[in-house]
Structure 1
Amino acid sequence: MTATATAPLVALLAILVFVLVRAGELRIWQVVLVGLFGFYLDRTHLADPIASAVTWLVAGLTHT
């Protein structure tokens, strides 16, 4: 993902994480969402494969 596409994704994930934490309950898919947010913020060595997987998934869902 480019920097222009990553910034809005991080902002969206930040809003979703904030809402989920405020709700007080986290389900499995929500924990995965929070984990993805953490990887995008931290940019660890696992961030590139995760970013590639997310890009592949989004491209597959949007047919681009």
Structure 2
Amino acid sequence: MSASAAMPLVVVFGIITVLLVRSRDVKAWEAVLIGLFGFYTALTPIGWAVLGVVNWVLSGFIHT
């Protein structure tokens, strides 16, 4: 996935996180932990597997 394709996903997930924090469903420290978990998961070898699954799902939606 290129950076230009990843940016909309980052924005959408960021908006969802902000809305959850504002609605008090997720506390601020929980949002930070979620972000850190995602960041550190991306640094592991499983990050490539997650990236492959996301690419596969997105290509299914884009493919006509």
Q: TM-score, normalised by structure 1?
A: 0.60
2:43 equivalent in structure 1: 44
Question: Structure 1 unaligned runs (5+)?
Answer: 27-34
Question: Structure 2 unaligned runs (5+)?
Answer: 27-33
In 2, Cα distance between equivalents of 1:25 and 1:63: 35
Poorly superposed stretches of 4+, deviation over 6 Å: none
Structure with more relative contact order (C-alpha pairs < 8 Å, separation 6 or more) = 1
1:32 equivalent in structure 2: none
2:5 equivalent in structure 1: 5
C-alpha RMSD of the superposition: 2.7
Structure 1 residue 4 displacement after superposition: 1.5
In 1, Cα distance between equivalents of 2:5 and 2:61: 16
In 2, Cα distance between equivalents of 1:8 and 1:63: 18
Deviations 1:16-39 (A, max 9, x none): 11111222226xxxxxxxx58x52
**Residue 6 of structure 1 aligns to which amino acid in structure 2?**
A
In 2, Cα distance between equivalents of 1:13 and 1:19: 10
Which of the two has higher C-alpha Rg? 2
Query: Is 1:19 the equivalent of 2:19?
Result: yes
Identity of aligned residues (%): 28
